[in-house]
Structure 1
Amino acid sequence: MKNQRLLSYLAVPAILAVTGLWLWWRGRVLICKCGTLRLWHGEVVSSENSQHLLDWYSPSHLIHGFLFFALIALFCRLFRLKMRFLPALTIATLVEAAWELVENSDSVIERYRAVTISLDYYGDSVVNSISDIAMMILGFALASRFPVWLSVLLVIALEVVTMLVIRDGLLLNIVMLLNPLDAIREWQAAR
């Protein structure tokens, strides 16, 4: 029982470490090519976007955490399973880490560059990818503590603020990757 609990506590840090090492091995830069590491980089149309710890896309990863918690809770409720926090968090972390690997693949980077206004996007730095996963973990932890109404309100607020400030967000990102619309691209380009 103690070994199982210890494995549960080590799973998430191990996923973070393996993801970071894999991205670095695949050629992602560890930190921004500019040679600095900032806590916040707020300029979206910039070669330094997604290169520092936090940026305007960090709220999207926080939202991932809220959504993953809701989906796992729903799954557990539907199948009458008891939701245990650490195993659920481990699953969510695996999914988010897998997304970071896919998002930073050459084909997805090229897709972003082809169908969105992210012409200067060359993928995330390793530090930014790990920070994105950490934001998902934070969102997951908050969702586990907050009432549903507050979680829903925060997700909507984060998405609306991001759309108003940078004309992008999780929903628009998904739409533009799956079915790019010229009207959205034109609206985003008018920043």
Structure 2
Amino acid sequence: MTRTQRATAAALLIVVAAGALLYMMGRPPICTCGTIDVWISEPNSSRTSQMLSDWYSPSHIVHGFLFYAVLTLLFRKWPVEWRFLAALAIEVSWEIVENTPFIINRYREETAALGYTGDSVLNSISDIAMMTLGFFLARRLPLWASVAIVLVLELIPLIMIRDNLTLNVWMLLAPNDAVKAWQSGG
């Protein structure tokens, strides 16, 4: 078995374990509405974070670009498979932490995601897949293209829903009333 095959097997086990853990944490496998949609365009819908993708999916693609960059800078001598497994472990850890009552409540209180109830298992697995896409795009694209894509993936949600990865992190770590008012249309 090659290193790539071993890494692929390990990645699949990690994702399956994450899905099982999220389910054991009480996350619904799919939207409690009983449907599976490819895209939800309403940022404040009860179906946001329940389907395959929504306005927050680009932030997970950005995670992949960022994880690739940081892990490559810090661990350049590691094979890309190891760096990918490290990125996957970080993303999976975030998906688990993000779906704890503490973070769900923090999102509701301090960010634009006022009605957030946590992710479905399907959405979390999709978010992990989005990070994977970003990681492998970053590996293949020239630096200028990676930077351009990250900027576009941050600017489009900012313009369309007044939220993105940057604002999400800012509001989780250091809430700001002026930003919160702007995000809510005030």
Normalised by the length of structure 2, the TM-score is: 0.96
Runs of 4+ that moved beyond 6 A: none
1:69 aligns with 2:55: no
Q: Distance in 2 between matches of 1:117 and 1:145?
A: 33
1:189 aligns with 2:184: yes
Q: Distance in 2 between matches of 1:102 and 1:136?
A: 16
Q: Which runs of 5+ in 2 are unaligned?
A: none
Alignment root-mean-square deviation, CA: 1.3
Normalised by the length of structure 1, the TM-score is: 0.94
Q: Distance in 1 between matches of 2:23 and 2:148?
A: 36
Match of 1:142 in 2: 137
1:127 aligns with 2:131: no
Instruction: In structure 2, give the amino acid aligned to 1:48.
Output: R
Alpha-carbon distance, 1:117 to partner: 3.1
**Once the two structures are superposed, what CA deviation does each residue of 1:94-120 show, in whole Å capped at 9, x if it has no partner?**
000000000000100011111123221
Instruction: In structure 2, give the amino acid aligned to 1:26.
Output: M
Match of 2:29 in 1: 30
Instruction: In structure 1, give the amino acid aligned to 2:23.
Output: W
Q: Distance in 1 between matches of 2:154 and 2:4?
A: 36
1:112 aligns with 2:107: yes
Alpha carbons 2:3, 2:81 under 8 Å: kept: no
Match of 1:171 in 2: 166
Within 5 Å, which residues of 2 pair with 1:6-25? 6-25=5-24
Q: Distance in 2 between matches of 1:118 and 1:96?
A: 20
Alpha-carbon distance, 1:76 to partner: 2.6
Question: Percent same amino acid among aligned pairs?
Answer: 47
Within 5 Å, which residues of 2 pair with 1:95-106? 95-106=90-101
Match of 2:88 in 1: 93
Q: Distance in 2 between matches of 1:182 and 1:143?
A: 34
Alpha carbons 2:4, 2:81 under 8 Å: kept: no
Instruction: In structure 2, give the amino acid aligned to 1:163.
Output: L
Instruction: In structure 2, give the amino acid aligned to 1:122.
Output: T
Aligned length: 186
Which segment drifts farther, 35-44 or 112-121? 112-121
